[in-house]
């Protein structure tokens, strides 16, 4: 089984990683891909959500 991890742009930026982008079809928006798992592939999207309360 093949494991594919996909990081959101926010997580890529937060972790200061320089991960390659997934390929996309011409005319479609870059960074918007449908990830489909099946019997041979397990796809997982990793995201970071900043929900810390900001007080002044």
Judging by beta carbons within 10 Å of its beta carbon (0-12, 13-18, 19+), is residue 6 exposed, middle or buried? middle
- The mean pLDDT of the chain is 82
> pLDDT tens, 10-27?
888 888 888 887 777 787
Query: What's the pTM value of the predicted model, to 2 decimals?
Result: 0.56
Higher pLDDT, 31 or 8: 8
Q: Would you say residue 55 has pLDDT above 70?
A: no
Cβ atoms of residues 36 and 2 within 8 Å:
no
Element (H, E) at 14: helix 9-14
Q: Binning pLDDT at 50, 70 and 90, where does residue 2 land?
A: very high
* b/e sequence 30-55, b meaning 16+ C-beta within 10 Å: eeebeeeeeeeeeeeeeeeeeeeeee
């Amino acid at each position: 089984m093949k494991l594919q991890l996909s990081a959101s742009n926010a997580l890529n930026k937060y972790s200061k990683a320089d991960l390659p982008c997934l390929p996309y079809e011409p005319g479609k928006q870059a960074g918007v891909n449908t990830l489909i798992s099946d019997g041979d592939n397990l796809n997982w999207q990793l995201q970071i959500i900043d929900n810390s309360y900001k007080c002044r």
